Structure 1
Amino acid sequence: MEHEIELQPLLQYIDPSFCTYQEWTNVGMALKLEGYAVSDWDAWSLRDTARYHAGECEKKWCTFNGANTPVTGATIVDMAKKGGWHADAGSGHAFDWDDVIQEKDEQVIIDQRWLEGRELQDPGSTWNPVQDLITYLSTLFDSTDYVGYVTSSWEKDGQFFPSKGNFKRTAGELLESLTICDGDIGAVLGDYKPKVGAWIRFNPLDGKGIRNENVTDFKYALVESDCMELEKQNEIIRQLELPVACLVYSGGKSIHAIVHIDASSYDEYRKRVDYLYAICRKNGLEIDQQNRNPSRLSRMPGVMRGDKKQYLIDTHIGKANFVEWREWIEAINDDLPDPESLKDVWNNMPELSPSLIEGVLRQGHKMMLAGPSKAGKSYALIELTAAIAEGRKWLTWDCAQGKVLYVNLELDRASCLHRFKDVYDALGWPAQNLRNIDIWNLRGKSIPMDKLAPKLIRRAARKDYLAIIIDPIYKIITGDENSADQMAHFCNQFDKVCTELNCAVIYCHHHSKGSQGGKRSMDRASGSGVFARDADALLDMIQLEVDQVGVPGTGWRLEGTLREFRTFEPLNLWFEYPIHKIDDSGTLAALTPDAEKEPWKKGQETQQKRKEAKKQQMESAYNACLISGFVTVSGMAEYMNTTERTIRRYIKESNKFDFDNGKVVMKNT
């Protein structure tokens, strides 16, 4: 019977000794539903020698008579995926139009095209079998550890399988007996069939059994592959720097690497073995998946298997332990550049990136524009977008000309497009290079920056943007904006975009809430100081309070903190909706932002404002009461909702009012 997907190869990735009873039953039900035979289930179950009972599969098989919610082959596929199987394992496949072509896997270290292999060195006539076993035991076990080993076997269909074996002797007892056995391993462990060989468990047991629950210390895992040349197995194991305690030739088609796992629990053991096997598979070493369990048998060194020796190849190779090895794996393909000597480049310095905004920002660098609400930050960035697209000045700075992507996270599409047109009209610029401006409207669809960055890179690739402008960033912040480490991760996404697309990233952020009094410009942005310190250029806007009547708009001062250029003199700007203009009149230059005023001066100004307000209130009250023909203290007190005593005090302090026969009159000034 032909099957849509062959399930038998997938069973290699499911270890029955790792399965619960229900999982074992589910595999059987799925195989029966998909048209397989009971012998397929039985052959798979046989891998768990500790729990296998002849005839049990056939007996259980007869009870699988269907159900309303049957267990299908999808269950086996899912279990196999968890065991490391992938859909294209062992074969290539054609990509569909919607398939994503994965980037280079950083866990792939070995280039299969250049793998030559490393020949095994047979010990020859100098082989000392007892010494091999002594070295193996003393390397893997403490003297008090119980060791499981098997020298007897049974046959089925011409294939030999190990029996339960012995598990009640310690490594110390075995080592003592081997030392005085005069070369006769059988006298210590029991005679084995030379045709079959012998086995040994690589993790210590409790002396009560041989199942996973009898393992007392999850020290090692078995790495074995019998589907490739021995020389290539040997080479891959060594190139991968696997933390191998003992390397044993099985006397057959495989090498057995007893690898440090050093797990503190069974759960951690499973996770580390999954990681180990995944790295091996990615690097061309197809692992026998049934070797996952910690109580597994491996080939014992020091015995014969047919005409081949089961011998110890090596000990203590690769990294010292699992943690060191995993860190090495994750670091070896980090794509970081190597250190370079300054002497080598001293007389041949690389060219600096050209300016994007002359004297402020280089191409490929990062800039943040920060300010409070109503500063017109979005309009300023739209002005900058137009200036780059048209190759014109932005405020006082010349801009390089090129393509710009404006990422709109806040406005609806229509409002955003109208703003661009309004800005062009207010600037009086002919729209000659609109092809240089792309707008990505993401209102209501924004996602965290670590998720947005790869999507942005994919869409912007081959567009040759000079700049990508993101407005505003609070919509895409990943994590807590007050956390330095989380914001460092967030800002790293901008670096990724700059590097991958070779363009500048310019973004907008808001000031923190409350008074900004006394703060430096780089400390006014909301959240962690990482924001201001990460950018190559920080431009900060702060409002100037203008008391004059008839001014053209709101007053602002733009300050800069620059990494690549000298700091510029602050710019004084009017925000005349919808654009910013340089203040040529000098009106704003004499003003000091509230944040920078000395406390005594702030108090003086506050007091003066109160007096002005009081004066205006008195005039309003006087004019209102004058309707009745004359003004009295009681009338003004009632109008101002205060006491007559307060009104008399106001009048005495005023230089505009006086008393005349009990009436309030205005002085002639």
Structure 2
Amino acid sequence: MTSFRYALVESDKMELAKQNAILRELELPIAILVHSGKKSLHAIVKVDAADLDEYKKRVDYLYNVCKKNGLVIDTQNRNPSRLSRMPGVIRNGKKQFIIDQNIGQPTWEAWHEWIESVNDDLPDPESLTDTWDNLPQLAPVLIDGVLRQGHKMLMAGPSKAGKSFALIEMTIAIAEGREWLGWSCAQGKVLYVNLELDRASCLHRFKDVYNALEWAPKGINNIDIWNLRGNSVPMDKLAPKLIRRAAKKDYIAVIIDPIYKVLTGDENSADQMAHFTNQFDKVCTELGSSVIYCHHHSKGSQGGKKSMDRASGSGVFARDPDALIDLVELELNDEVQKQQENNLLCQVYEKALKQLNPDYLDTEISQDDLCSQVQMKEHIGRALKQPQRLLVDEQAKEALLQVRNKSAWRVEGTLREFPKFDARNMWFDYPRHELDHTGILKDIRLDDGFQSWKKNTPKKTAEERKQERLDALETAYSACGVGDEITPSMLAEYLGISEKTVRRHIKEHPKFFFDDGVVGKKQQGRTDK
């Protein structure tokens, strides 16, 4: 054999009419269709293979398609030298003849493309008329006014926003059937996929958040944690493994934290990120559960951007999910900070008087006094004895430290299934987030909290800016884990800057070195090469 242009498709175990119908419906690229004079049709199919190896592959593909579509064929005809019957010759009293020629698709390539589109497993279009009076039921709500079960949600925010804590709070809220950031949650089983923390730290975080929320762990049997630190794989490899493990668990939500650990491709490439986010669709479809994941902001100021434009990388990240929850930090000016401190100290003093001298609280203190830390401190001096005052002073110091460590955040969002919600303001008081019910944060403009006093602030010197960079690197190094191999990408994620910038900061820092992809602390006496 010197050329491999045709293959023989023959069936002698079916009615002739059925054979003819299937051959035509499959639009095989048939050069000539011959009646054998007995009980079969011979279809000479164009395969146009370059060599014997390609011929075998194409014939295998051809026969598999025929078999899947009900044509019982004679597989002995795989031989490239197999011949057909001679038209015009009488065989057993019956004439062999040509039925048709050049039917179906014109070439193998055209047929292969056509059959692949036919067998794409996509649903057929449906008429709206058929469903107008019998609409399918909407998926149940998972987070009221935000997300339905089986849909996708992205939480975006900068480093230090407590995104992981917020996702843990959400996990607990769904498991307990309680509120998350003011939104009611359906109760059900949740899988929390931990890609970043070691197992012990992750488990401790869950208990710390439960304690901070002051919730009884009645629904902890609804929480499963899949600890994958050190074992994570790209999302296209992780998705089928996740689906296999979760198939019989009836999860209503799968939470993946964080996605940079399983990211495949360039996050700035729309087509690569579309392939990446398609993996979440597979999980949603196969499990019928929501997929919730978090991603970091791009660099620079976020105040002038819409919520859906703040996530780093391709716009696919923001446009793919059904719900986007975005966290932006609010810069607190002196006035807001002092008001916060005043409110908290007033609460401390009122609580102390309620416990130690309730009669004085009821008779001597006005409503105006309750709102002034100065007045309340004077009442403490008059109403309590020296040991009691010392105890209250210590409580006040702890309260001040707590309020100064709190950060303020605005929650915005873009929703596909529900109306847009009004922005919500909250505090991150480690390890929990809590809504601001005082209204103190309502009027702060994004990235504008310091503007009223920043104009009179002198510019920092180059040495001061350098020291800030060095201090930030040390903080990031400590936060990324002790005893683990720390990479520039981990530090970049924490600091919200590029790996290139991190390497530059490492180079100028006297305490750190970068060697073989790992960042380490220099031992005493070590010098750079």
TM-score tier, shorter chain, comes to 0.5 to 0.7
**Cα distance change of structure 1 residues 339 and 277 upon mapping to structure 2, 3 Å threshold:** closer
In the other structure, the counterpart of 1:404 is: 190
Deviation at 1:579, TM superposition (A): 0.7
Question: Which SS does the other structure have where 2:324 is aligned?
Answer: strand
Deviation at 1:486, TM superposition (A): 2.2
More helix by share: 2
Instruction: Spell out the pairing of 1:126-275 with structure 2 (5 A cutoff).
Output: 211-212=1-2, 215=3, 219-225=5-11, 228-229=13-14, 231=16, 233-234=19-20, 236-251=22-37, 254-262=40-48, 271-275=57-61
**Cα distance change of structure 1 residues 586 and 299 upon mapping to structure 2, 3 Å threshold:** same
Structure 2 distance, partners of 1:291, 1:233, is: 19
In the other structure, the counterpart of 2:75 is: 288
Deviation at 1:526, TM superposition (A): 1.6
Q: 1:465 aligns with which of 251, 260, 271?
A: 251
In the other structure, the counterpart of 1:586 is: 439
Two-structure CA RMSD over aligned residues (Å): 3.1
Instruction: Spell out the pairing of 1:358-507 with structure 2 (5 A cutoff).
Output: 358-507=144-293
Q: Which amino acid aligns with 1:377?
A: K
Deviation at 1:391, TM superposition (A): 0.8
Structure 1 distance, partners of 2:119, 2:66, is: 15
Q: Which amino acid aligns with 2:456?
A: Q
Identity %: 66
**Residues 108-157 of structure 1 deviation map (CA, whole Å, 9 limit, x = unaligned):** xxxxxxxxxxxxxxxxxxxxxxxxxxxxxxxxxxxxxxxxxxxxxxxxxx
**Residues 584-622 of structure 1 deviation map (CA, whole Å, 9 limit, x = unaligned):** 33333232222x79xxx96x86543326999x9xxxxxx
**Cα distance change of structure 1 residues 508 and 230 upon mapping to structure 2, 3 Å threshold:** same
Deviation at 1:432, TM superposition (A): 0.4
Deviation at 1:251, TM superposition (A): 4.7
Q: Which amino acid aligns with 1:245?
A: A
Deviation at 1:567, TM superposition (A): 1.3
Higher-Rg structure is 1
Question: Which SS does the other structure have where 1:298 is aligned?
Answer: coil
**Residues 42-83 of structure 1 deviation map (CA, whole Å, 9 limit, x = unaligned):** xxxxxxxxxxxxxxxxxxxxxxxxxxxxxxxxxxxxxxxxxx
Question: Which SS does the other structure have where 2:221 is aligned?
Answer: helix
In the other structure, the counterpart of 1:608 is: 456
Structure 2 distance, partners of 1:528, 1:418, is: 34
Instruction: Spell out the pairing of 1:532-547 with structure 2 (5 A cutoff).
Output: 532-547=318-333
In the other structure, the counterpart of 2:410 is: 557
Deviation at 1:462, TM superposition (A): 2.9
CA contact (8 A) 1:273 1:292 kept: no
CA contact (8 A) 1:522 1:538 kept: yes
In the other structure, the counterpart of 1:314 is: 100
Structure 2 distance, partners of 1:331, 1:314, is: 26
In the other structure, the counterpart of 2:420 is: 567
**Cα distance change of structure 1 residues 449 and 317 upon mapping to structure 2, 3 Å threshold:** same
CA contact (8 A) 2:8 2:77 kept: no
Deviation at 1:569, TM superposition (A): 1.5
**Residues 485-525 of structure 1 deviation map (CA, whole Å, 9 limit, x = unaligned):** 22222222222222222221111111123444633221111
Structure 2 distance, partners of 1:500, 1:353, is: 15
Q: Which amino acid aligns with 1:285?
A: V
Deviation at 1:307, TM superposition (A): 4.5
In the other structure, the counterpart of 1:115 is: none
Question: Which SS does the other structure have where 1:299 is aligned?
Answer: coil
Structure 2 distance, partners of 1:516, 1:269, is: 59
In the other structure, the counterpart of 2:298 is: 512
Q: Which amino acid aligns with 2:417?
A: E
Query: TM-score, normalized by length of structure 2?
Result: 0.67
Q: Which amino acid aligns with 1:460?
A: A
Q: Which amino acid aligns with 1:505?
A: V
In the other structure, the counterpart of 1:662 is: none
CA contact (8 A) 1:281 1:287 kept: no
Higher RCO (CA-CA < 8 Å; seq separation 6+):
2
Structure 1 distance, partners of 2:96, 2:287, is: 56
Question: Which SS does the other structure have where 2:314 is aligned?
Answer: coil
In the other structure, the counterpart of 1:65 is: none
Structure 1 distance, partners of 2:424, 2:282, is: 31
Q: What is the number of equivalent residue pairs in this alignment?
A: 394
* Unmatched runs of 5 consecutive residues or more in structure 1: 1-210, 617-669
Structure 2 distance, partners of 1:394, 1:610, is: 42
Structure 2 distance, partners of 1:458, 1:480, is: 27
Structure 2 distance, partners of 1:519, 1:310, is: 76
Question: Which SS does the other structure have where 2:457 is aligned?
Answer: helix
**1:342 to 2:128 alignment:** yes
Structure 1 distance, partners of 2:79, 2:440, is: 79
Question: Which SS does the other structure have where 2:304 is aligned?
Answer: coil
**1:529 to 2:382 alignment:** no
**Cα distance change of structure 1 residues 287 and 492 upon mapping to structure 2, 3 Å threshold:** farther
Question: Which SS does the other structure have where 1:245 is aligned?
Answer: strand
Question: Which SS does the other structure have where 2:122 is aligned?
Answer: coil
Question: Which SS does the other structure have where 1:248 is aligned?
Answer: strand
CA contact (8 A) 2:424 2:435 kept: yes
**Residues 342-389 of structure 1 deviation map (CA, whole Å, 9 limit, x = unaligned):** 344444443333321111112221111011111111110110010011
**Cα distance change of structure 1 residues 335 and 612 upon mapping to structure 2, 3 Å threshold:** closer
In the other structure, the counterpart of 1:326 is: 112
* Unmatched runs of 5 consecutive residues or more in structure 2: 338-399, 465-529
Structure 2 distance, partners of 1:553, 1:344, is: 56
CA contact (8 A) 1:460 1:501 kept: yes
**Cα distance change of structure 1 residues 347 and 253 upon mapping to structure 2, 3 Å threshold:** closer
